Chain A
Amino acid sequence: MSFGLLSYLAADVGPTVHVAPAGVFTIGGWTITNSILYGWICSIAIVAFLIWVARRVTVKPQGGIIQFIEAGVDFITNLVENSFDDKKVGHKYVPFFVTLFFFIILNNWLGLLPFVGEGFSSEGHPLLRPFTGDLNGTLAIGVVTMLMVYGASILEAGGPLKYLKHFFIGSPLNPLYFVIGLLEMFTDLTRVLSLSLRLFLNITIGEIVIAVFAYLGSIAAPLTALPFTMLEVLVAALQAYIFTILATMYLAIAVNHTSAHPADDDLTDAGVPETIGVQTAGGSARG
């Protein structure tokens, strides 16, 4: 945060806080904002770094940063495979979710570097801004994720109509089930917004909290902002994990539900205790 110290001292009242991205320069009529600029830099860095790691993975563990990436891949692989009833089905979708996890977590962490945010500014706006601290960026991630989830759900269900049928708990001709099914579909569409808003607001609030405490610290800004930066490192990892596991759950629920109807019948048979007839009124008719 020491890079941003002078700009905090120069401000008259309160810390400078930005919620929306700002344009940095234009190319042929397209405004390039600070968040997409840093997003491009981060994407290149992430791809180069992960290719470098992938070339150095060996059977015998090496330790260091490669070990960390391997542990992350292993963690997400187990998470995704165990969410599905059939592990082979889950294994097909592992690469997407691992990519998602590492893209979000590395973008969040790179956004915490001191020179990002309020550090360097041009014409009153920060020059760089974390990619996940911009609603456009997280909405793009959310839309891509949910398109992939819908596409894979339709493929696993074997057709759009069969996929739509799993929203209805009974026959769609029943008016009550029809309305409930429509409500379920609407709830499903709000997932795009809830996924992207959660990530965007967490990262943006982290930036604001760090900026506020760096401003309060004045001369000792690095000391006062350090604990909250440490907290944000944890929050960044947690948000990446939550985004990944929620996307996995959305896919797993749809796939498991459309492919596991025979198991439901077994559960209803085995789930009824034999003594239920004794304890309820009119039990003799059931028993």
Chain B
Amino acid sequence: MIIADAVNTAIIGKGLMIGGGFIGPAIGIGLIGGNYLQAVGRNPEAAKFLGQALIFVAIVELFGLLAFASIFIVK
């Protein structure tokens, strides 16, 4: 209660939500990109699978976007 009076906890909550929510997708997209480049390095013919890598980027990215959308329901 004392903390809630002194500082705006909603801003702290939003900050934690953005920061925490963006860590996961950042790691995930890094893993996808790194593994794609490793695959291309080992076997250059695998470069044609860039489209499939981008699909997984989109799926991973959605969770970060959901974290971003959630900050608007915190009052």
Residues in A lying within 8 Å of B, measured CB to CB: 19, 79, 194, 197-198, 201-202, 205, 238-239, 241-242, 245-246, 249
A246 x B58 contact (CB < 8 A): yes
Q: How far is the CA of A239 from the CA of B61 in the complex (A)?
A: 11
Given contacts A205-B65, A245-B51, contact A198 B72 (CB under 8 A): no
Measured between C-beta atoms, what is the minimum distance from A39 to chain B in Å?
21
Instruction: Name which residue of chain A comes closest to B52, CB basis.
Output: A245
Interface pairs A-B: 9 shortest CB-CB = A201-B65, A242-B58, A198-B62, A201-B69, A194-B62, A245-B55, A19-B72, A198-B58, A242-B55
Which A residues lie within 8 Å of B72 (CB)?
Answer: 19
B55 x A246 contact (CB < 8 A): yes
A238 x B54 contact (CB < 8 A): yes
Known contacts A201-B65, A242-B58, then 5 further A-B pairs from the complex at CB < 8 Å, ordered by chain A residue: A197-B66, A198-B58, A201-B62, A245-B55, A246-B55
A197 x B62 contact (CB < 8 A): yes
Chain B: number of interface residues, binned into ranges: 10 to 19
Q: Which of A202, A241, A245, A249 contacts B65 (CB 8 A)?
A: A202
> Would you list which residues of chain B between 18 and 75 have a CB under 8 Å from chain A?
51, 54-55, 58, 61-62, 65-66, 68-69, 72
Which B residues lie within 8 Å of A197 (CB)?
Answer: 62, 65-66, 69
Measured between C-beta atoms, what is the minimum distance from B15 to chain A in Å?
15
B65 x A242 contact (CB < 8 A): no
Which A residues lie within 8 Å of B65 (CB)?
Answer: 197-198, 201-202, 205
Measured between C-beta atoms, what is the minimum distance from B69 to chain A in Å?
6
Cβ contacts A to B, 23 pairs, < 8 Å:
A19-B72, A194-B62, A197-B62, A197-B65, A198-B58, A198-B62, A198-B65, A201-B62, A201-B65, A201-B66, A201-B68, A201-B69, A202-B61, A202-B65, A205-B65, A238-B58, A241-B51, A242-B54, A242-B55, A242-B58, A245-B51, A245-B55, A246-B55
Q: How far is the CA of A37 from the CA of B69 in the complex (A)?
A: 24
Measured between C-beta atoms, what is the minimum distance from A235 to chain B in Å?
10
Q: How far is the CA of A239 from the CA of B54 in the complex (A)?
A: 10
Instruction: Name which residue of chain A comes closest to B62, CB basis.
Output: A198
Measured between C-beta atoms, what is the minimum distance from A230 to chain B in Å?
18
Q: Which of B54, B62, B68, B69 contacts A241 (CB 8 A)?
A: B54
Q: How far is the CA of A197 from the CA of B68 in the complex (A)?
A: 11
Which A residues lie within 8 Å of B69 (CB)?
Answer: 197, 201
Which A residues lie within 8 Å of B68 (CB)?
Answer: 201, 205
Q: How far is the CA of A197 from the CA of B72 in the complex (A)?
A: 14
Instruction: Name which residue of chain B comes closest to A242, CB basis.
Output: B58
Measured between C-beta atoms, what is the minimum distance from B44 to chain A in Å?
21
Measured between C-beta atoms, what is the minimum distance from A188 to chain B in Å?
15
